[in-house]
């Protein structure tokens, strides 16, 4: 039987979408997807990307069914503002909100009860021109924070800031283009992560709680939840697909 999701909690489920799954297991995951998801999966050129899509979307469906009396294959989704998917069927399900993300070696699904939520993951070994990206999209304060890092710490702090930006914008349902350089994050040991906005009129920065986690040694995960700061955010991490 499904368990109710506590209102003050966000559960994050992770899985390795690149693992060596038996053919039968991948077939079971594929059977859970709707026709639109199967069509989307078929567009990927490489088998690895098709598997990442299938496993991550099977994760989403099975996770949602942990909190509602709905079979994993019965969920239906529709794109809302900014292309963010939300549950549109079946009717009568709890007001679950979710966000899904994946990168090489890790997929993550965050679920809340009625609160806007965004999650993003990145691999720490991903090869990018971090300094050029920071110069274009990060605030002066964020760049200053990066420059104070030891060389071996630079990439980790860069990806912490980048995933926070993506998680926040995904939770709001707005696109990254034209927005990622307008939200800034302050990370200090022992203090809550703080959000600042270039234009305070676009959103209430104080309404967000933000978390950084390391689900594996090779990945950083950022979580953004709109629920105010009156009470601590309870985050539970789970591993695997609950099928």
pLDDT in tens, 104-161: 999 999 999 999 999 999 999 988 999 999 999 999 999 999 999 998 899 999 999 9
Location of structure tokens 């003050």 = 8
* Predicted pLDDT of residue 1: 58
What is the chain's mean pLDDT, rounded? 93
Same domain, 128 and 72: no
Q: Residue 84 maps to which CATH number?
A: 3.90.470.20
Q: Kindly indicate the confidence band of residue 6, based on its pLDDT and cuts at 50, 70 and 90.
A: confident
CA distance 201 to 185: 17
Tell me what the mean pLDDT of segment 152-179 comes to.
90
Q: What is the tens place of the pLDDT at every residue in 52-76?
A: 999 999 999 999 999 999 999 999 9
Same domain, 181 and 88: no
Q: Choose one of 95, 130, 150: the last residue of a domain.
A: 95
Determine, yes or no, domain membership for 166: yes
Q: What are phi and psi of 50, to 5 degrees?
A: -65, -40
Structure-derived torsion over alpha carbons of residues 201, 163, 38, 90, reported in degrees to the nearest 10: -50
Same domain, 76 and 157: no
Calculate what percentage of the chain has a pLDDT beyond 70. 98
Q: Kindly indicate the confidence band of residue 186, based on its pLDDT and cuts at 50, 70 and 90.
A: very high
169: Cβ contacts below 8 Å, ≥ 6 apart: 118, 175, 176, 179, 180, 183
Same domain, 140 and 233: yes
Same domain, 90 and 124: no
CA 70, 73, 75, 81 torsion-angle sign = positive
Does residue 7 surpass a pLDDT of 90? no
Same domain, 131 and 219: yes
* Predicted pLDDT of residue 2: 74
Determine, yes or no, domain membership for 56: yes
Determine, yes or no, domain membership for 213: yes
Same domain, 225 and 141: yes
Same domain, 55 and 143: no
Determine, yes or no, domain membership for 155: yes
Same domain, 146 and 86: no
Q: Are 62 and 32 in contact (CB under 8 A)?
A: yes
* Predicted pLDDT of residue 112: 96
Determine, yes or no, domain membership for 7: no
* Predicted pLDDT of residue 177: 64
Report the residue count for the chain. Answer: 243
Tell me what the mean pLDDT of segment 85-99 comes to.
93
Same domain, 215 and 124: yes
Determine, yes or no, domain membership for 190: yes
DSSP codes joined into one string, the chain: ---PPPTTEEEEEEE-TTS---HHHHHHHHHHS-HHHHHHHHT-SSHHHHHHHHHHHHHHHHHHTTSSS--GGG-EEEE-GGG-EEEEESTT---EEEEEEEETTEEEEEEEESS-EEEEEEETT----HHHHHHHHS-HHHHHHHHTS-HHHHHHHHHHHHHHHHHHHHHHT--STTTGGGEEEE--TTS--EEEESSGGG--GGGEEEEEEEEETTEEEEEEEES-SSS--EEEEEES---
Determine, yes or no, domain membership for 28: yes
Q: Which domain holds residue 86?
A: 18-95
Same domain, 64 and 162: no
Number of CB atoms found within 10 A of residue 102's CB: 23
Q: Are 121 and 183 in contact (CB under 8 A)?
A: no
Same domain, 136 and 46: no
Q: How many CA atoms lie within 13 A of 122 on its CB side?
A: 22
Q: Which of 51-55, 90-94, 133-137, 229-233 has the lowest mean pLDDT?
A: 229-233
* Predicted pLDDT of residue 178: 58
Q: What is the tens place of the pLDDT at every residue in 201-228?
A: 999 999 999 999 999 999 999 999 998 7
Q: Choose one of 62, 78, 95: the last residue of a domain.
A: 95
110: Cβ contacts below 8 Å, ≥ 6 apart: 10, 11, 12, 98, 99, 117, 118, 119, 223
């Amino acid at each position: 039987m499904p368990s109710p999701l506590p209102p003050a909690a966000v559960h994050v489920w992770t899985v390795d979408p690149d693992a060596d799954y038996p053919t039968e297991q991948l077939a079971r995951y594929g059977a859970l997807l709707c026709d639109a998801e199967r069509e989307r999966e078929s567009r990927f050129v490489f088998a690895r990307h098709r598997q990442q899509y299938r496993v991550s979307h099977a994760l989403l469906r099975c996770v949602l069914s942990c909190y509602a009396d709905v079979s994993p294959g019965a969920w239906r989704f529709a794109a809302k503002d900014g292309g963010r998917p939300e549950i549109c069927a079946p009717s009568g399900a709890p007001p679950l909100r979710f966000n899904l993300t994946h990168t090489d070696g890790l997929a993550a699904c965050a679920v809340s009860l009625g609160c806007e939520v965004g999650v993003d993951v990145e691999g720490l070994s991903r090869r990018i021109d971090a300094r050029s990206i920071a110069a274009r999209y990060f605030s002066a304060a964020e760049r200053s924070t990066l420059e104070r890092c030891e060389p071996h710490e630079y990439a980790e702090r860069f990806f912490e800031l980048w995933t926070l930006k993506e998680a926040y914008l995904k939770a709001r349902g707005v696109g990254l283009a034209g927005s990622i350089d307008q939200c800034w994050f302050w990370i200090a040991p022992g203090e809550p992560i703080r959000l600042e906005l270039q234009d305070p009129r676009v959103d209430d920065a104080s309404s967000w709680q933000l978390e950084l986690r390391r689900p594996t040694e090779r990945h950083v995960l950022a979580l953004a939840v709109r629920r105010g700061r009156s009470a601590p955010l309870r985050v539970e991490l789970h591993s695997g697909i609950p099928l």
